[in-house]
Amino acid sequence: MSEQPTRPADRAAEAVRGWRLRRGVRLAQDAVRGMPTLLHPEGVVLLNETAAAVLALCDGRRDAAGIAAELRSTYRGVVAEEVDALLADLARLGLVGAGPDQADHGGGG
pLDDT digits (tens, 9 = 90+) for 71-81: 999 989 999 99
Query: What is the CATH topology of the domain spanning 11-93?
Result: Outer Surface Protein A; domain 3 (3.90.930)
Please give the pLDDT value at position 99: 73
Query: What does the pLDDT average to over 5-13?
Result: 44
CA nearest neighbour of 91 among 24, 18, 21, 4: 21
Q: Is 65 exposed, middle or buried (0-12, 13-18, 19+ CB in 10 A)?
A: middle
CA max distance for the chain: 63
Are the CB atoms for 102 and 23 separated by under 8 Å?
yes
Q: Where are the beta strands (DSSP E) in 55-109?
A: 96-98
Residue 92's pLDDT band, with cuts at 50, 70 and 90, is very high
Are the CB atoms for 87 and 96 separated by under 8 Å?
yes
